């Protein structure tokens, strides 16, 4: 699938493309985390039933996604 491919949404689209969708979402989240860390911005996470602010120096980036492979 290219970035500009129009997809026909069917009832089983998510089931058929689950792995691809998960990969895109993982890359997007890691890209956002990396951007926050590089810019020195904290993030908010949900932990033990409450919101916790994580300072940029404590943001953990998966080594698998430490550098975005392509622009999202």
More confident residue, 8 or 15: 15
Q: What is the mean pLDDT of the chain?
A: 86
pLDDT in tens, 13-32: 888 888 999 999 999 999 99
In Å, how far from its chain's centre is CA 27?
4
More confident residue, 4 or 40: 40
pTM of the full structure: 0.68
pLDDT in tens, 38-49: 999 999 999 999
User: Is it the case that residue 72 has pLDDT exceeding 50?
Assistant: no
**Residues 41, 56 contacting (CB under 8 angstroms):** yes
DSSP state of 4: T
Burial class (CB in 10 A: 0-12, 13-18, 19+), 49: exposed
């Amino acid at each position: 699938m290219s970035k500009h491919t129009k997809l026909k949404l069917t009832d089983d689209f998510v089931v058929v493309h689950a792995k691809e969708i998960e990969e895109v979402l993982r890359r997007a989240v890691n890209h956002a985390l990396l951007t926050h860390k590089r810019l020195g911005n904290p993030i908010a996470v949900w932990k033990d039933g409450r919101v916790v602010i994580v300072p940029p120096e404590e943001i953990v980036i998966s080594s698998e996604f430490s550098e975005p492979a392509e622009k999202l």
